[in-house]
Amino acid sequence: MSGPNTDYDPVEVSSLQQGEIDAARDAAIAAIEAAADLEQLKAVRSAHAGDRSPLALANREIGALPPQARKEAGQRVGQARGAVSKALAERQVVLEAEHEERMLVEETVDVTLPTDRRPEGARHPLTTGAELIADIFVAMGWEVAEGPVIEAEWLNFDALNLGPDHPARTMQDTFWTEPADRHLVLRTHTSPVQARTMLTRRPPIYVVCPGRVFRTDEYDATHSPMFHQVEGLAIDEGISMAHLKGTLDHFATQMFGEGITTRFRPSYFPFTEPSAEVDLVCFVCRGSQVDEDGDTCRTCRGEGWIEWGGCGIVNPRVLRACGVDSERYSGFAFGMGIDRTLMFRHGLEDLRTLFEGDVRFTTAFGSDL
Ligand code: PHE
């Protein structure tokens, strides 16, 4: 509208009629009362008290009225707007209080609830198993030695009396690395740590070497291209096969319980002479070869014994290759699979459960082993 409307007739300007104003006010108040939360009240505020609300538009009409009509129209609209903003303010207080109360209930923290609902991890049985083995030896005054998994061919083979053309090299299904002229392999056993230890320390030497080893094996319930071994090496004056037997019997008893001892079967390893396979008394039938029902023991298949590892008196050629005086010193060495040992100890049927990282498996062991 432009210019004063001198011929103003209030009845003609519908937005300023009392009835219209009352209706706009009542609609606003009804909407305010109906707003159930602060979000809804915000929408009601902009619809009924915002710039484009009916009452705001009516207010704008006032300026176009003749001066004599402005006062009365202004009062009418002003009262209505005042009533609306009062209702808005009151509703705001009520809804804010309600909101606060709801938040207090919804965000209540029950401090009496148990706090251990976050699942707790557990150390892997291979870690705790290797530690347990190390502890058994440390208790006898031995030390723990480690070496790299990518190993010099010379230390993995040659130093251990396994020259390039030695037929026993093919027994160790080796992963070779490239370039071939660097002569590095993924170590096939923990025995190179023997060589490393002898090359860097003076006898007497008593070390256990737990670690990861690699062979080009299938991956199935009893084989894996990656597994774990523990090697033992003792070098001193007058070391004999009797010391070896006594040490392994002690190890077996500590690991599997009283009465679980070992027996030796003649064997061959280039790095030991004489060499033997070590067997354990079957920890299920305890050598009786039968189970509780008198049936053939399934764990040892009626043998009464279970294969555990290899051992022997360190070949003097290995001592000499590693700088040890073979006239003065002798030594024994042994090596067995840690995974296999843990499978026996815990009755695991499938080697793969040790490698697949399923926390349900690991947690079952807890931290105790
Ligand atoms: N290194 C041998 C193997 O992995 C085991 C062994 C260790 C045998 C020490 C004798 C002495 O087959």
Share of the chain above pLDDT 70, in %: 94
Residue 326 predicted with pLDDT over 70: yes
Mean pLDDT, all residues of the chain = 90
Distance 357 CA to ligand 1 centre (A): 28
CA of 352 to the centre of ligand 1 (A): 22
Q: Is the CB of 335 under 6 A from ligand 1?
A: yes
User: Hey, which of 191, 275, 341 would you mutate to test ligand 1's pocket, going by the most ligand atoms within 8 Å of its Cβ?
Assistant: 191
Q: Identify the band that residue 369 occupies on the pLDDT scale cut at 50, 70 and 90.
A: very low
Pick the residue whose CA is nearest to atom 10 on ligand 1.
311
Find out whether 333 and 314 touch, Cβ atoms under 8 Å: yes
Q: What is the pLDDT of residue 235?
A: 98
Q: Given this model, what pLDDT does residue 1 score?
A: 47
State if residue 334 touches ligand 1 by the CB under 6 angstroms criterion: yes
Average pLDDT of the segment spanning 176-192:
95
Average pLDDT over residues 253-260: 93
Task: Count CB-CB contacts under 10 A for residue 105.
Answer: 7
Whether residue 122 has pLDDT greater than 50:
yes
Q: What is the mean pLDDT of residues 340-352?
A: 88
Per-residue model confidence as pLDDT tens digits over 129-171: 999 999 999 999 999 999 999 999 999 999 999 988 888 787 7
pLDDT level of residue 17 (50, 70, 90 thresholds): confident
**pLDDT at res. 2:** 53
Ligand 1: residue whose CA is nearest its atom 3: 189
pLDDT in tens, 205-256: 999 999 999 999 999 988 999 999 999 999 999 999 999 999 999 999 999 9
- pLDDT exceeds cutoff 80 at 8: no
Distance 202 CA to ligand 1 centre (A): 22
Residue 182: which residues within 8 A CB-CB, separation 6 or more?
Answer: none
CA distance 195 to 290: 42
pTM beyond cutoff 0.75: no
Would you say the CB of residue 333 lies under 6 angstroms from ligand 1?
yes
Closest CA to 336 of 128, 143, 133, 123: 133
Q: Is 278 in the pocket of ligand 1 (CB under 6 A)?
A: no
- The per-residue pLDDT for 367 is 53
Closest C-alpha to ligand 1, atom 4: 189
What is residue 177's predicted lDDT score, i.e. its pLDDT?
94
| pLDDT of the residue at 6 | 53
